Structure formats: structure tokens, C-alpha cells
Amino acid sequence: MTDNETLAYLAGIYEAEGCSVISRSIKLSSKYRVTYQSFIVVRMSDKAPIELYYKYFGGSIGTEKRNKNRKTLHRWYISGKQAATAANKLLPFILTNRKKQAIRCITEFSDTINMHRGSTPLLLDEVTKREMLYQKSKQLNARGKGANNSLSFNDIHIFDIAPNIRYLAGLYEGDGGATISRTSKSYKCYLALSMSDAECVKAFHNYFGGHLSIQEMPGNSKTQFICKTFGHHAAIIAEELLPVVQIKRKRKVLGCIIDFAKTICERGIYQSKELKQHRKYLYQECAKYNERTTCNYEAIKANNTLQLTFL
């Protein structure tokens, strides 16, 4: 895989699980002082993409413990000039307007980082620019319904760049999923991408097709935009994603979707006992690899590694 393909994949992960932030802190000591810092952070429960970010850009990696029934989050963090370097490399592959503006704030902020050290004050125009970028970053990263992406699917027609399969694989690994569901009478498979950025979901839909929908979330959570596919259509997408998806856990699930589609029969056709047992097995495999809590997670951790064939 080329550098551009790797960066497209990392850009997809960033769109789904990352954010670019300029923070401000006020220190009350002998002298009133305001300090600013720029950083990029990516958090996800799969460790392998985080290690790839660290290997490719530097920075630091760590973990964030959550409550006992949820998986540990793995975190990649980079700040200052290093963050600006990473931002400049990712920017050509970022699709959504909001994330583009946020990551441009990081590159613009780096222009205000100079040789000042210790108690040497910043120039007034540097402080003014930092405050402006801080306010813009705060607005772009705001949470809740009031800060939701104002775009709807109908507002999106042409993208500045054509998303490639590596970028879409990054989106899928971050905020996508595939599974086999079971009812009292039958099994069904589907593959979906759900995000608060309509542009990402529309790009996924433009490439793969599927059913678009909007789901209002409870409380103050952002509205979710969804692209969902079922049955043979889901299997076709899984076959295209499988060679480029890097996390083994996700690859296992895609393999189950592909195998399940082969068991889908026309209505009225008799389903053998062996076929029903195979469907049940695939359903259980999907449930195991899609486990959201810490239960059963340790058992599949060995399979949740990245194939760094492109480095």
C-alpha cells in the first residue's frame, strides 16, 4: 500500500473517531496568564489503528479506562508542531467540511508557535489570533443537538475529492458495523455506517449504495445519519471492504456476512438442517466478534491486530 493509500485510511479513521482541538487555560498566579495548546486525538476500542497512527506520525499513545462493563479506549495524542505536521498530511484526504476547518485550525495555530519561552510574553497579534482559533475550534467541536451538522442528505451533491476504498474502510472501522440478527423464525444480515456527519455517510452511500435514514437520538446527543444495506447487497460491500479492512475482528465479521449471503435461499425453497445450523454458527460468530462489553473480549483480543502490510 502506498503512502497516499495509508493516509486515506488514517483520514477515514480520523473522520470517524478523531478530533482536532485548540484548548485554553487560565493560570491565576502572581500574574494573570492565558495559555493555548493545539492537539489531535483519536480514541477507539481497537488498539491496532492507534499504533499505526503512532508509527506514522509520532506523538504518544495510552489507554482510558471506562466502567467495568465497557471496553478500554486506546488513545493516540499529538500536539504542537507535530500536530501541525500530521494535520498537513491528513488534510488532502479529509472529506467533511467541519473536520477540514477543525484541522486547518491546527495548521494555522502552528504559525503562532514561535521561540517564546518561559515568562516571555506573546505579541498581541499572536494572542488575538490564538483566541480567534480557539473560539472557532470550540464551535466546530461543540457537542449536543444544537451543534449538529446542519447539512442534510439533500444538501450534499459534489465532493471536493472522490473518496477511495481505503478512506471508506477507515470510516467503516471507526463507525461502521456488520452483523447477523435473529428473530423467532429467521436470520438476517446487514452492514451499516452511522455517523453524526452527513457528508461521510453520503460518500459511503455514493460508493456502495444502500438505504439512507436519519435517527434522532435521545437527550442532547447529535442526530445520526445512517447508510444501511441488507442481504446480498451487504455481502457485495463486505467482499469489497474485506481486502482493505485492517482490523482482524472486523475482517472476521465481514467474512461471516459473505458466508451468510451464500445461505440465503429463495422463498419457498426448503432449508436443510445443516443450512440452519450453519446460519446459527455464523450468527454466534458475529455476536462474539461484535461484543461491545468486556465479556468475551479477552478471548478474541489475539485476533484484533492490524496487518501492517503497507509499511
210-221 pLDDT, tens digit each:
999 998 888 878
Assigned domain for 110 exists: yes
| Distance in angstroms (rounded) separating the CA atoms of residues 205 and 208 | 5
Relative to beta strand 32-44, strand 73-79 is antiparallel
Whether residues 59 and 161 fall in one domain = no
Strand order in the sheet with 73-79: 18-28, 32-44, 73-79, 60-64
- How many angstroms separate the Cα of 293 from the Cα of each of 39, 134, 286, 300? 29, 36, 14, 12
Task: Give the DSSP per-residue string, 205-235.
Answer: HHHH--EEEEEPPSTTPPPEEEEEEEHHHHH
Average pLDDT over every residue of 31-47: 86
Assigned domain for 294 exists: yes
Q: Structural domain tally of the chain?
A: 2
Q: Which is more confident, 291 or 191?
A: 191
Q: Given CA atoms 268, 269, 273, 278 in this order, what sign does their dihedral have?
A: negative
Assigned domain for 147 exists: no
Whether residues 105 and 176 fall in one domain = no
For position 283, which CATH number holds? 3.10.28.10
Average pLDDT over every residue of 238-257: 94
- Please give the pLDDT value at position 72: 86
- Please give the pLDDT value at position 307: 39
Whether residues 163 and 296 fall in one domain = yes
CB contact set of 270 (below 8 Å; sequence gap of 6+): none
Structural domain for 278, as ranges: 153-303
Whether residues 9 and 110 fall in one domain = yes
Among residues 142, 163, 197, the one where a domain terminates is 142
DSSP code of residue 91: G
Average pLDDT over every residue of 69-82: 89
| Distance in angstroms (rounded) separating the CA atoms of residues 94 and 256 | 30
Whether residues 7 and 129 fall in one domain = yes
- Per-residue model confidence as pLDDT tens digits over 252-269: 999 999 999 988 865 555
Assigned domain for 278 exists: yes
Q: Determine the residue type at 111.
A: D
Among residues 97, 118, 142, the one where a domain terminates is 142
- How many angstroms separate the Cα of 30 from the Cα of each of 26, 33, 36, 96, 119? 12, 9, 19, 44, 12
Among residues 111, 142, 173, the one where a domain terminates is 142
Whether residues 135 and 182 fall in one domain = no
* In the predicted structure, residue 306 carries a pLDDT above the cut 60: no
Whether residues 136 and 193 fall in one domain = no
- Please give the pLDDT value at position 118: 56
Whether residues 228 and 202 fall in one domain = yes
Of 71-75, 185-189, 237-241, 305-309, the range with the highest mean pLDDT is: 237-241
Whether residues 107 and 50 fall in one domain = yes
Whether residues 132 and 160 fall in one domain = no
Assigned domain for 68 exists: yes
Whether residues 58 and 107 fall in one domain = yes
- Please give the pLDDT value at position 258: 95
Assigned domain for 308 exists: no
Assigned domain for 96 exists: yes
Whether residues 200 and 264 fall in one domain = yes
Average pLDDT over every residue of 276-286: 91
Assigned domain for 101 exists: yes
The pLDDT-based confidence of 71 (bands split at 50, 70, 90) is: confident
